[in-house]
Amino acid sequence: MAPTATIFLDIDNTLYSASTGISAAMGKKIHDYFTSLGLDEEEASELHMSYYKQYGLALRGLILHHQVDPVDFDRKCDGALPLEDLIKPDPSLRKLLQDIDRSKANVWALTNAYRPHAERVLRILNLEDQIDGLVYCNYTQPNFVCKPDAQFYHEALEKAGVSDPATCYFVDDNRINVDAARALGWGHVAHFLEKGLVHVEGGKVKEIGSEKLGDGNNGVEVINRLEELRKIWREVFK
């Protein structure tokens, strides 16, 4: 019987820990990209944050307001990260994915990154063969969508051949992305929260878990280790 469930995994800061420092390295590359457009340090920081907040990705603001070529941006930012020095395969994570019962669930990656970065991370982590499909942000499309746009999630379901969002599982380190999936009726959603670690969001350093969340979890499970998926998603593991 074909699998009836689909698991969607975020990639960045989910399949590797925020402790790798990749978000800081990424934030620095994006900041340098802003300053390369002739903005001074302060303007660059302000716009970086405001575009990130407003559009989900700084890049979308850069395209809309600065006519930036997204492929050039990707090459100079994500493409220029020394990922091979920052992340390495984690045998326990590989085992976790291997222990998912593939007769019950397909496993997809769902990322706001462009395809080359997504594939590179999966390759370095030695997880490529564990992923059945990839939903990424297509930077070459004018007005491309990304998480947390509802359209991006609809396209993910279409791409993965899912007709009922209730059969979806999703884990992401960004609470806004998780809440968006939940609001669209995705059945099982988890927020990967490495409380106490620091990461960089919109170019600013932030302690993870320091933001105030709304009352109640609204059906969102909060985990601080991916291993906990075995427990909260027991029915799709062997």
- Sort 55 into a burial class: Cβ within 10 Å, 0-12 / 13-18 / 19+: middle
User: b/e map of 128-152 (b: 16 or more CB within 10 Å)?
Assistant: eebbeebbbbebeeeebbbbbeeeb
Nearer to Mg ion, 45 or 177 (CB): 177
Nearer to Mg ion, 31 or 199 (CB): 199
Nearer to Mg ion, 29 or 66 (CB): 29
Task: Choose the stretch contacting Mg ion; rule: CB under 5 A; options: 2-10, 30-38, 89-97, 99-107.
Answer: 2-10
Number of residues that bind Mg ion (CB under 5 A): 4
Task: Choose the stretch contacting Mg ion; rule: CB under 5 A; options: 4-12, 58-66, 96-104, 139-147.
Answer: 4-12
The binding track of 10-39 with respect to Mg ion, each residue x by CB under 5 A or -, is x-xx--------------------------
Nearer to Mg ion, 13 or 20 (CB): 13
Shortest reach from residue 200's CB to Mg ion, in Å: 12
Which residues, numbered 44-63, are part of the site for Mg ion (CB under 5 A)? none
Shortest reach from residue 15's CB to Mg ion, in Å: 9
Cα distances from 20 to residues 97, 175, 182, in angstroms, run 21, 20, 28
Instruction: Give which of 9, 65, 1, 4 is closest to 226, Cα–Cα.
Output: 9
The binding track of 144-183 with respect to Mg ion, each residue x by CB under 5 A or -, is -----------------------------x----------
Q: How far apart are CA 52 and CA 189, in angstroms?
A: 23
For tokens 């698991």, the residue is: 7
DSSP state of 144: -
Q: Where are the beta strands (DSSP E) in 23-167?
A: 105-110, 133-135
Task: Choose the stretch contacting Mg ion; rule: CB under 5 A; options: 5-13, 87-95, 179-187, 224-232.
Answer: 5-13
Shortest reach from residue 5's CB to Mg ion, in Å: 22
Q: Do 156 and 135 meet the contact criterion of CB atoms below 8 Å apart?
A: yes
Q: How far apart are CA 178 and CA 205, in angstroms?
A: 21
Residues engaged in binding Mg ion (CB under 5 A): 10, 12-13, 173
